[in-house]
Amino acid sequence: MASTDPRPATAASAPAPVALVSGMSGAGKTAALKMLEDLGYEAVDNLPISLLRRLTMPEEAAAASGTAGRRALAVGIDTRTRDFQADAVATLVTELKRREDLIAQLVFFDCDDDVLLKRFTATRRRHPLAADRPITDGIAAERRLMQPLKACADVLFDTTTLALPELRQRLAAQFALDAQPTLSIMVVSFSYKHGLPREADLVFDVRFLRNPHYDEQLRPLTGEDAAVAAYVAADPGYPEFFARLSEMIALLLPRYAAEGKRYLTIAIGCTGGRHRSVAVAQALGKSLREAGQRVDIRHRDRDLVSS
């Protein structure tokens, strides 16, 4: 039954944010916990599952933070955790989400197996599930164990190509403890030769625009150069496309914000990721900024050598 108390919520009575951080070993969970701590969360790693429910109770949370009120909590959960069972954790996460005194989210960190292997090899760390077996065996075993948690995650970070500064930015956008959360937008250009950006929420293909690659004077340049941007914009189909693209995104942004989304990635792709996608991403980012949005622009494949 909903409370009929007419008094406004105070810092102590407002729902407490709880970020449950899990995922593949080597995918960035430890770094994420440190970043969340910098954002003001009380960070706890490798907490036994049997104690998690108790830690989220009001009295225990206040005692842990050393304050009268309740602080935001970030808890690391992975296969190293004592009494870890993915199904049991998933059930507990569902229970925490139902509590009116909490805003609980399961955050899952993933990464391609070959990149995980490189990270463990480079640091000479032993995979927690590998024991005396090859690291690849440990990665495969962990992926099977973690599948139930990945399936019910609220937020998924794939760190295969995600640099730490960008991870910090995305965590801040998603989990900042400000009173008025806002939507942060990343516009990223990419090459279809190298695959879709894994973090993309919206993807637009601009390969229908005429290609500056076939102009010998423009080929060495990028979409950030005025000559290339002008060439792309001069395509007869560009004005209507860009106008409709801008209108659609303007329509969607308030709906995403109303759903509580804090980070939106818009991906613009072309063949080489150097000319058309870069020019359109630059133009879209500029347009969104002029409309008052918080926007960052990244050109994932701009500097890659075309094959």
CA angle, 53 as apex, 70 and 261 as ends, to 5°?
65
pLDDT in tens, 162-188: 888 888 888 888 888 865 567 889 999
φ and ψ at residue 63, rounded to 5 degrees:
-65, -40
| Domains of the chain and any CATH numbers | 16-175 (3.40.50.300), 184-299 (no CATH)
Which residues, including other chains, have CB under 8 Å from residue 12's CB and lie 6 or more apart?
A: 68, 69, 70
CA distance 63 to 45: 17
pLDDT at 60: 54
Q: How many CA atoms lie within 13 A of 28 on its CB side?
A: 24
What is the separation, in whole angstroms, between the first and last Cα of the chain?
63
pLDDT at 2: 39
Asked if 223 contacts 191 with a C-beta cutoff of 8 angstroms, the reply is: no
- The pLDDT of 250-278, averaged and rounded, is 92
Query: Helices marked H in the chain — which ranges?
Result: 29-38, 49-55, 58-65, 86-98, 113-123, 135-151, 164-175, 226-233, 238-258, 276-290
Asked if 152 contacts 129 with a C-beta cutoff of 8 angstroms, the reply is: no
Nearest to residue 21, comparing CAs of 144, 151, 109?
Answer: 109
Asked if 290 contacts 266 with a C-beta cutoff of 8 angstroms, the reply is: no
Give the least confident one: 16-30, 61-75, 104-118, 287-301.
61-75
250 pLDDT more than 70: yes
Q: How confident is the model at residue 140 (pLDDT cuts 50, 70, 90)?
A: very high
Do the strands 184-191 and 202-205 form a parallel or antiparallel pair, or are they unpaired? Answer: unpaired
Which residues, including other chains, have CB under 8 Å from residue 266's CB and lie 6 or more apart?
A: 185, 186, 187, 188, 200, 201, 202, 204, 249, 284
CA distance 44 to 46: 7
93 pLDDT more than 60: yes
pTM of the model: 0.68
- The pLDDT of 248-253, averaged and rounded, is 95
Q: Which residue has the higher pLDDT, 70 or 221?
A: 221
Give the least confident one: 75-89, 237-251, 272-286.
75-89
Which residues, including other chains, have CB under 8 Å from residue 305's CB and lie 6 or more apart?
A: none
